Structure 1
Amino acid sequence: MRRVLVTGGGSGIGRAIARDFADAGDAVTISGRRQDALRETDGGRGMTLRPGDVTSEADVRALFDAPFDVVVANAGSAVVTPLAKTSLADWQTTIDVCLTGVFLTFREALRDMPAGGRLIAMASTSSLQGSANLSAYVAAKHGVLGMVRSLAIEVARREITCNAVCPGFVDTPMADGAVRNVAARYDISVEEATARIVEDNPLKRMIRPDEVVAAVRFLAGAEAGMVNGHALSVSGGEV
């Protein structure tokens, strides 16, 4: 039985990943800011629930009372606004959650991670390309991918891999917020806003959470032992 940690496990992609590992028989720990959301993710599966903030060094350290075999750094947030209108507070919050949170999580994981361990960062297609009105998020996700590629070289001799999963828009509450923002900004319907968001995706739809889960499951498996420093795009060919 593997020990698995999923940060940002209270909703969306993190919830789907955590449930997949738990249903496969792994011992799963999930962290997030809201205890009620973590309980909903667990749904009686017996996960270990650890409320906390990935931007807090003390909170992250408290997650690692024992080594984990798989660590999925999934916690994230985004603000949708032009750079010229982005406040320093919004910029810093995005960097803290999306980039520094991954750094703190991976740094702590590496203290005791055994050989065969898997570090997986939930990046984004925003790690691979730019997007208007998402400069803070794109900057943070580019940083995540740079860290993954560098860390992969550092940990390879320990037989640990470090990879990134890069989804496009995934059908989650976070994407719902983006759709509402677009609808409000352009005074259009939710349906029209959704169509605009997915227009660059060759499949013309959002990604399902289970499609992201499949990528994480692969990278966490023994068969992915020679996949290291990779950005796995889950985007229907958008990237």
Structure 2
Amino acid sequence: MRLENIHAVVTGGGSGIGAAIARALATEGARLTLIGRRRDPLEAVAATLPQAIAVTADVADRASVDAAFAQARAVHGPIGILINNAGIAPSGPFARLPPEAWSQTMAVNLDALFHCCQSALPDLLAAPAGRIVTIASTAGVKGYGYVAPYVASKHGAIGLMRALAAEFAGTALTANSVCPGFTDTDIVARAIETISTHTGRSGDEALAELTRHNPQKRLIEPEEVAATTLWLCLPASRSITGQAIAVAGGEIM
């Protein structure tokens, strides 16, 4: 139980990668606060874990984040681990991209990191081994077509983690990014549907289009991302900071 009694906040903790991370942290004894917009999925995951609560919030809104973190502290105490996992991935040609889609993606994928990191920072700096792990993407270190806002926001997410790592290198706080390739989540399922709808390809053909980037020719499992995230949260990982770690089957960046 290497994380016993440590309070971990996981945004987007109601499904996919976030839920897998919550389960991994729970195996090491962490107290968990799962944050997201939809209460039912959060509560469903929290109910399966020994020390977990569900708190609804809009991570793109600072007042909502501050209120959620205050509620989390009231139950589990100061925050020792922050997992920034919530995100969206709209797709479409850049030439026809509505400004609203750009703004929304930046708000959820990048502005939310500012809100969450700054709101939790006093706790994280006071912790014996504070940890920030942001779930970015291979899109944070390379480009993909038809997802320009997502690519830009994930590049920004990695940049923010590197900046925090440099600024707080003299403390016990580390900040890292985990960069999954295409992962077996609801977001990727929707991407497959979109490809099929717009190109007429079958579901299998659409899946093959996504997995061609992975030399292993498969989707990454959420539990693989969770295992890397857990490793970064452990006390023994104190020298790992400012990194963007790919979990992508050998995809060339």
1:91 aligns with 2:91: no
Q: Residues of 1 paired with 2:128 and 2:235: CA distance?
A: 11
Amino acid at match of 1:93: Q
1:139 counterpart residue number: 152
Q: Map Cα deviations across residues 168-191 of structure 1 (whole Å, 9 max, x no partner).
A: 011011110011111111101100
Amino acid at match of 1:57: R
1:59 counterpart residue number: 64
1:148 aligns with 2:153: no
Counterpart among 221, 226, 232 of residue 239 in structure 2 = 226
Q: Do 2:14 and 2:42's aligned partners in 1 also have CA atoms closer than 8 Å?
A: yes
Q: CA deviation at 1:212?
A: 0.2
- In the superposition, the TM-score normalised over structure 1's length comes to 0.97
Q: CA deviation at 1:103?
A: 1.1
Q: Residues of 2 paired with 1:100 and 1:218: CA distance?
A: 26
2:12 counterpart residue number: 8
SS of the counterpart of 2:79? coil
Q: Map Cα deviations across residues 69-115 of structure 1 (whole Å, 9 max, x no partner).
A: 11000000011111111101111000000000111111111122223
Amino acid at match of 1:21: L
- In the superposition, the TM-score normalised over structure 2's length comes to 0.92
Counterpart among 215, 238, 245 of residue 202 in structure 1 = 215
Q: CA deviation at 1:53?
A: 0.5
Q: Flag structure 1 segments of 5+ consecutive residues without an equivalent.
A: none
Q: Residues of 1 paired with 2:202 and 2:12: CA distance?
A: 30
Q: How big is the alpha-carbon RMSD for the aligned residues of Structure 1 and Structure 2?
A: 1.0
Q: Do 2:214 and 2:248's aligned partners in 1 also have CA atoms closer than 8 Å?
A: yes
1:107 aligns with 2:111: no
Q: CA deviation at 1:23?
A: 3.3
SS of the counterpart of 2:89? coil
Q: CA deviation at 1:22?
A: 2.1
Percent identity for Structure 1 against Structure 2: 38
Q: Residues of 2 paired with 1:237 and 1:44: CA distance?
A: 33
1:27 aligns with 2:31: yes
Which is further off, 45-54 or 16-25?
16-25
Q: Do 2:56 and 2:68's aligned partners in 1 also have CA atoms closer than 8 Å?
A: no
Q: Flag structure 2 segments of 5+ consecutive residues without an equivalent.
A: none
Counterpart among 125, 143, 151 of residue 130 in structure 1 = 143
Equivalent residue pairs, number? 239
Amino acid at match of 1:62: A
Q: Residues of 2 paired with 1:3 and 1:100: CA distance?
A: 23
Amino acid at match of 1:169: F
Alignment of 1:111-122 (within 5 A): 111-113=122-124, 114-122=127-135
SS of the counterpart of 2:216? coil
Which is further off, 169-178 or 18-27?
18-27
Q: Do 2:224 and 2:247's aligned partners in 1 also have CA atoms closer than 8 Å?
A: yes
Alignment of 1:39-78 (within 5 A): 39-45=43-49, 46-65=51-70, 66=73, 67-78=78-89
Q: CA deviation at 1:54?
A: 0.2
Which is further off, 18-27 or 161-170?
18-27
Amino acid at match of 1:53: D
SS of the counterpart of 1:162? strand
Q: Do 2:24 and 2:227's aligned partners in 1 also have CA atoms closer than 8 Å?
A: no
SS of the counterpart of 1:157? coil
Q: Do 1:115 and 1:158's aligned partners in 2 also have CA atoms closer than 8 Å?
A: no
Q: Do 2:10 and 2:22's aligned partners in 1 also have CA atoms closer than 8 Å?
A: yes
Q: Do 2:43 and 2:53's aligned partners in 1 also have CA atoms closer than 8 Å?
A: no
1:178 aligns with 2:182: no
